[in-house]
Amino acid sequence: MAPKKIACFVEGQTEQIFVEKLFQEIAGYKKISIETSKFQGGKANRIIESLKSSRVKDAPFFVLLYNCDCDSQVLSDIRKQHQSLTNNGYEKNLGLRDLYPQPLGEKQKIEKGIRGFLKPLQKTGIPISMNLAIMEIEAWFLAEWHYFAKLDTRLIPDFILQELGLDLRNIDIEQRLHPSQDLDDIYQLIGCKYDKSEKISQEIINHLDYEFLYLELVIRVKQLKSFIAEIDSFLVE
């Protein structure tokens, strides 16, 4: 039987690595195949480069994961691929991008603009769900505070609170204005730097506690809950 198929469009490398891992952790590594590609070039000359393929024989689920290489390109890339994905039997287009550098106060305006942009596409073809990680996907990494101690045993919540005044166990993480800077501040406590490089992003994503993220973190991180709900609705055999 042919697998169920979903296309997921993300704004950059960190999101790409995280979403791939998230799908695998939720579905189970033996049940899902993921093919990753990257868009390159400007609006007028976009090309698609194949990055990697993790094929699992007879897997019931397939994810086509696109790195759009820019938050402003996610919507336009979804639009350009929408008809092709519809024609090829995909069930949904799923998008993920940050709100930053737009201010938090612009969230509702931006969400309204996204709905307006997607409205013509929603009338025909497969459904589209666009998700904002507020303000950056790094907010989700901050909220899963257990992994810091895996990087360095000093980085327990009490130490971070003492040094930075940042209470990761209790703050509303979606109100942080620049989560990647918060992450860098924490890394600097141990003489390191968070620079969004592939190596650093991969290290973080490999150390995240996905059981905590899936079962508990979704209770207090609204946008993460919405994104995982979209994945769950797809992963039904």
What CATH number is given to the structural domain containing 40?
3.40.50
Contact in structure between 133 and 217 (CB atoms under 8 Å): no
**For 194-219, how does the pLDDT look when each residue is reduced to its tens digit (9 = 90+)?**
999 999 999 999 999 999 999 999 99
- Please tell me which residue, 183 or 41, carries the higher pLDDT value: 183
Q: Indicate whether 49 and 97 sit together in one domain.
A: yes
Q: Indicate whether 101 and 123 sit together in one domain.
A: yes
C-alpha span between 48 and 64 (Å, rounded): 12
Residues above pLDDT 70, as percent of the chain: 100
Would the pLDDT of 3 be above 80? yes
Q: Indicate whether 165 and 116 sit together in one domain.
A: no
Enclosing domain of residue 171:
138-207
Q: Indicate whether 79 and 162 sit together in one domain.
A: no
Mean pLDDT of the chain: 95
Q: Indicate whether 203 and 97 sit together in one domain.
A: no
Instruction: Write down the pLDDT at residue 220.
Output: 92
Q: Provide the whole-model pTM.
A: 0.95
Q: Indicate whether 185 and 219 sit together in one domain.
A: no
Phi and psi of 92, rounded to 5°? -165, 155
Residues above pLDDT 90, as percent of the chain: 92
Would the pLDDT of 193 be above 90? yes
Would the pLDDT of 43 be above 80? no
Would the pLDDT of 181 be above 90? yes
Q: Indicate whether 11 and 99 sit together in one domain.
A: yes
Contact in structure between 63 and 23 (CB atoms under 8 Å): yes
Helix (H, G, I), strand (E, B) or coil at 49: strand
C-alpha span between 126 and 28 (Å, rounded): 25
Contact in structure between 133 and 221 (CB atoms under 8 Å): no
Instruction: Write down the pLDDT at residue 35.
Output: 98
Q: Indicate whether 154 and 220 sit together in one domain.
A: no
Q: Indicate whether 180 and 92 sit together in one domain.
A: no
Q: Indicate whether 10 and 127 sit together in one domain.
A: yes
| 208 C-beta neighbours (distance < 10 Å), count | 20
Q: Indicate whether 186 and 216 sit together in one domain.
A: no
**AA letter at 157:** P
Instruction: Write down the pLDDT at residue 133.
Output: 92
Query: How many domains is the chain partitioned into structurally?
Result: 2
